Structure 1
Amino acid sequence: MILSDITMPEFIEGLRQTQTVLIPFGAVEEHGHHLPLGTDTMQAYDVCCRLSEKRPVFVAPPIYYGVCRSTSSHPGTISITTDTLRALAVDLVSNLYRQGMRNFVLISGHAGGTHNAALVDAGEKLLARLPQARIAVVTEYDLAAQHGRDLIETAGDAHAGEIETSRILFTRPHLVKGTSPRETPQFPKGILVRNKRNYWPGGVHGDPSRASAEKGEKIEALVVEALARLVDELENFVEKV
C-alpha cells in the first residue's frame, strides 16, 4: 500500500492487514557522469514498492534528502545536516505510530556512514519514547552488495559503480547517460579535507563498465527477498526482558 496513493478508508482497511511501514530514505547526490542525482532514493523506494506488491505493507513517500559528506563538493549534491535527518525520522515515525503503525523499517538507499548513524540514533530515541514500536534500520545498498556478491565482478564496488549502474539500467534505462571511468577515492587516511572533489574527481567508486540490466534485475530481486525476510523477523521480534 503506497501511502501517497491510497485514501483514508483504504488506510483504515490497510491497518486491519498490517501495522508495518517502510520508510525509504535517499539522497540528492552526484553519481558519476552517467547516473541521476536521485539514484539512492530511487533504489530504496523501488524495492519497497516491489515488496508491497508481494505482501501487505505500507510504503511511506521517500525522503529525497540525506547527509552527504564525501560528495559534498561535487556538483548536484544537496545535503542536509544530521540534526535535520534525525529530527525528520523521529517526527515521521512518531506520527505513523500515532496513526496505528507499530513496525517500522527505515531503509536507506544512501550508504553514507554519517547518514546511517543518524538514522540509527533516531531509532534509539524512538524506542525509548514509543513502548510498542519495533524498529529496524537497514542500508539497502548493503543488502545489494551482500546478496548480489556472486554477480558482482568489481572488488570493493560501491558508489555509482557496477551495482548501482546495473540497477538503474534495469529500472530506469532512459536515465543512464553513457558510463564513467573506473575510479577509487583517494582521500588521505585520518585527515579531513575541505574540497573532497580534489581527491575524488569523477565521483565513482567502482567500475560502471561492468554493469548490465540483467545483473540489475537479479540484484533487485535479491534485495526484495532480503527485505521480506527482515520484515518477517521484525514483525515476529520479541525483545528479551
Structure 2
Amino acid sequence: MLIEGMTMEEFSRGLTVSKTVYIPFGSVEEHGSHLPLSTDTIEAYEVGKRAAERIPLFVAPPIHYGSCRSTSCHPGTVSISTATLKSLLKDIVRSLHAHGLTNFIALTGHAGGSHKMALQDAGEELIRELPEINMAVVTEYDLAKEAGAGIIETRGDAHAGEIETSRIMHSHPHLVKGLAEAEYPSFPTGILVRDKRSFWPGGVWGDPGKATAKKGRMLESLVADKVVELVKALESRRW
C-alpha cells in the first residue's frame, strides 16, 4: 500500500489489514560518476514496494535527504543535519501513529554512521515516548550485504560499487551512466579531514565493474524478504 497514491478512504481501509508502515530514508549524495544522486533513496523505496507485494504493509513516501559527511565535498551531495533528520523521523512517526499505525520500520538506503545513529536515537526516544509502538531502524546496506553472501564478489564493497550498481542496473537501468573505476579509499585514522574528496576522489568504494542487473534483481528480492521477516517479527509481539 503506497501511501503517496492512496485516497483517505483507501488509507482507512488499509488500517483494517495492517498497522505497520515502512518509512524509506535515502539521500541526495554522489555515487561515483555512473550512478544517480538518489541511488540510496531508489534502493530503499524499491525494496519497500517489493515487500508490500508480499505482505500487507503501508509504504510511506521516501525521505530524499540524509546526513552525509564523508561525501560532503563531492559535487551534488546535499546534506542535512542529524538534528533535522531526527526531527523528521520523530514527526513522521507521531503523525502516522495518530492515524492508527503502531509498527514502524525506518529503513535507510544511506548507511553513513552519523545518519544511522541519528535515526536510531530518534527511534529510541520514540519508543519511550509512545509505549504502545514497535520500532525498527535498519540500513538497507546491512540487509543487502547479509543477503548477498554468495552473490557479491567484491570484498569490502560499500558505496557505488558492485552492490549498488547492480541494484540500479536492475531497477533503473536508464540512470546508469557507464561504469566508474574500482576504488578503495583510505582515510587517516582519527583525523577529521576537511577536504575529504582528496582522500576519495572518485566517490566509489568497491568495484562497479562486477555489477550486473541479474545480481541487482536477486539482491532486491532477498532484501525484500528480510523486510517481510522484520514486519512479521514486529507484529508478533510487543517489543
What TM-score bracket applies, with the shorter chain setting the length?
Answer: over 0.9
Give the letter for the 1:133 counterpart: I
Deviation at 1:183? 0.4
Give me the whole-angstrom Cα distance separating, in 2, the residues matched to 1:79 and 1:231: 29
Deviation at 1:131? 1.7
Give me the whole-angstrom Cα distance separating, in 1, the residues matched to 2:31 and 2:109: 13
* 1:99-125 deviations in Å (ceiling 9; x for gaps): 100000000000101000000000011
Q: Which residue of 1 aligns with 2:137?
A: 137
Deviation at 1:220? 0.8
Q: Which residue of 2 aligns with 1:177?
A: 177
TM-score, normalising length: structure 1: 0.98
Q: Which residue of 1 aligns with 2:98?
A: 98
Unmatched segments (≥5 aa) in structure 2: none
* 1:144-191 deviations in Å (ceiling 9; x for gaps): 011112101100001000000001000011000001111011210111
SS at match of 1:137: strand
Deviation at 1:50? 1.1
Unmatched segments (≥5 aa) in structure 1: none
Deviation at 1:237? 2.8
Deviation at 1:238? 3.0
Give me the whole-angstrom Cα distance separating, in 1, the residues matched to 2:70 and 2:76: 13
Correspondences of 1:207-218 after superposition (within 5 Å): 207-218=207-218
Give me the whole-angstrom Cα distance separating, in 2, the residues matched to 1:18 and 1:35: 35
SS at match of 2:85: helix
Give me the whole-angstrom Cα distance separating, in 1, the residues matched to 2:9 and 2:85: 31
Deviation at 1:55? 1.5
The yes-or-no answer on 1:64 pairing with 2:87 is no
Give the letter for the 1:73 counterpart: C
Give me the whole-angstrom Cα distance separating, in 1, the residues matched to 2:238 and 2:8: 31
Give the letter for the 1:81 counterpart: S
The yes-or-no answer on 1:24 pairing with 2:9 is no
Give me the whole-angstrom Cα distance separating, in 2, the residues matched to 1:62 and 1:185: 29
Correspondences of 1:140-219 after superposition (within 5 Å): 140-219=140-219
Aligned Cα root-mean-square deviation (Å): 0.6
SS at match of 2:193: coil
Give the letter for the 1:86 counterpart: K
Displaced runs of 4+ in structure 1, greater than 6 A? none
Give me the whole-angstrom Cα distance separating, in 2, the residues matched to 1:54 and 1:226: 11
